[in-house]
Amino acid sequence: MCGICGFAGERGGPDKAQELLLRMTSALAHRGPDDSGIFLKRDASVGLGHRRLSIIDITGGHQPMCDEDGMIHIVYNGEIYNFQELKGGLEAAGHEFRTQSDTEVIVHLYEQEGESCVEKLRGMFALAIWDARRGRLFLARDRLGQKPLFYRLDERGIIFASEIKGILADRLVPRRLNALALDRYLTYQYVPHPLSMFDGISKLPPAHTATWQDGSLTMRRYWTPEFSREVPGTEAGYVEKTRALLEEATRMRMMSDVPLGAFLSGGIDSSITVALMARASSAPIKTFSIGFREKKFDETDYARLVASRYSTDHTEFVVEPRCLEILGALAWHYDEPFADSSAIPTWYVSKLTAQEVKVALSGDAGDENFAGYPRYRAVRLAGIYDRLPRLLQAPFHAALWRRLPVSVEQKSLRRRARKLVLALNLPPEERYLTWIAIYDEVRKASLYSADFAGELAGAGRAADFVLDQYRLAGDRDFLSRTTFVDLMTYLPCDLLTKVDIAAMAHSLEVRSPFLDHKVVEMAVGMPASLKMRAFSGKRVLKKAFADLLPRAILKRAKMGFGVPIDRWFRGELAGFLSNLLLSDTAVERGIFAPAAVKALIDEHTGGVFDHGYRLWTLVMLELWQRTFIDELRDGPLEGLEDLL
């Protein structure tokens, strides 16, 4: 696991180009504290930089790496779990190897297969290859988007990095807010690809390659899970496939030359991962959990059940509402405003884990693959409504709406029920978007200043990011289409971004068996009836591992990796909220109407309505602007406690 960076095109001569590469790699040092290296073409028109977290072939895997002729140079971030298998085939074809690293396998595979080499890689990766023979720079990102890759294309050429701060190390790159990205961020709590919050800097989307040659960039999508058709099968057959594939994917992800452990939340997915690791290991597995004083958010009792069953070496940490101590670091490391508040516990569990191991396994993607989110139950309920005769829908909807009492709590059953009922008359795709949106179009319009709203005129709808994926999902049942949409949007843009940045900030590599593309391909073809029976999700998954998990884990409701920000904003952080969002600095940006922001704060702190998530979105946006836009900072904001 590493940080990569580089450029192709004029950068001001050899001395300036080398200085730039050193600044870029320095900006990514946290991703790879064990080693660093650069490659600079003799005429300084191409440069590659690398920071290494040594996991495989610790002594021999130095990068940048090249082929025997010095014509192909690579920098790469990730792990290829089938590299030994690929290596055997390449050796049989006559390729000779100097190291035991997976990096060299990619070099020879590129020699053999060209740009289609990525289709044979089983793992997580972001890579850059300079092909001197063809005069082209080849970039690629893994299928699900576990490893990030950003780039900027301008009149000087292309510059890329694992994190935006690597690109910003080029002081000629302007730091300007992207108004369109801000609008999308308020909808989703993340900036969807290919946008970034910096005007002119883009994300390479998951499962894409990009080739820069002669000043132009060509992009290609190389993988989409086959979703257009359901793959028939019995429950018993899918139970067997699920178990076999996840056992294999877990064993592959335990490949390491350094100590490894696991995140253990106490949920089904992480518990399965720990159980499979324990069965495959001759030594106790190290497990790490995060808890909260508020029992509504605390899962440590469940985590202890699994830790006890498998005699793991278990460590816990309780998160307190003193998160101001890390907010500056979060804004700095994420490079963009990122408003999933579970980044806080993810940060702490990563920090805790990195003190003992370099690699941790997780249960990411279990919910998307096997229909585990509570909102999928709402999808099922709404489907029943959709099947009612049209003459009955309107009076049924009106009767439901009148009977549901108002609740101010964001995650209460009553609040969710009202949200469900309010959207029943919308088309299913639009309905789902209203459920997941932080700010809908009406709320955003009331929040923006007149000038900023004018900037967005003609910018299209934020909904298109999700609706485009629904269109790709074909005509299967709506639950299956929705899990596909989440797999293509929420998973890479939110969950995997959250984990990658929080973990790599502490030089920790995180792997998830549920992200193996063979697991995903099996899961997307599975009939929805095998994933969700009545209103209970993960049916096949639970059956596949029922013998390995405590009954309490199998029967428990999903809690999620939440943070009690609603209570924090009414308590310890209430002063911080107003002092930050209504400060002269924030108001003078001219993005939001101050009265609208004040109304949100007053309604929340007064207990009228829970705007916790919406306010958190504004907090992280303001901290990002103070970190990256207001001045040329080279580190996190300090002194946030003064805003209390």
Active-site residues, by number, are 2
With H, G, I as helix, E, B as strand and everything else as coil, classify residue 463: coil
N-to-C CA span, the chain? 38
Residue type, 366: G
Cα 254 from Cα 156, distance rounded (Å): 42
Tell me the helices (H) and strands (E) count for the chain, helix number first. Answer: 30, 17
| Residue 424 to residues 169, 392, 420, 596, Cα–Cα distance (Å) | 49, 13, 6, 28
Cα 193 from Cα 413, distance rounded (Å): 32
Give the residue among 182, 130, 109 at the shortest CA–CA distance from 4. Answer: 130
Are 165 and 633 in contact by the 8 Å Cβ rule? The answer is no
Cα 432 from Cα 376, distance rounded (Å): 10
Give the residue among 7, 624, 11 at the shortest CA–CA distance from 331. Answer: 624
Angle between helices 517-525 and 478-488 (to 10 degrees): 160
Alpha carbon 346 to chain centroid distance?
12
Residue reference for tokens 């060509």: 218
Which residues have a Cβ under 8 Å from the Cβ of 483 and sit 6 or more positions away?
A: 368, 369, 371, 376, 524, 531
With H, G, I as helix, E, B as strand and everything else as coil, classify residue 341: coil
Are 345 and 300 in contact by the 8 Å Cβ rule? The answer is no
Sheet holding 72-80, edge to edge: 65-66, 72-80, 123-131, 136-141, 208-213, 216-221
Cis ω for the linkage preceding 64 (within 30 of 0): yes
**36: burial class by Cβ within 10 Å (0-12, 13-18, 19+)?**
buried
Cα 316 from Cα 146, distance rounded (Å): 26
- The structure tokens listed for 217 are 């960039």
Count the neighbouring beta carbons within 10 Å of the beta carbon of residue 176. Answer: 12
- The structure tokens listed for 397 are 């909807």
Give the residue among 347, 270, 280 at the shortest CA–CA distance from 314. Answer: 270
Count the neighbouring beta carbons within 10 Å of the beta carbon of residue 465. Answer: 20
Counting every residue written for the chain, the total comes to 644
Phi, psi at 290, each rounded to 5°? -120, 140
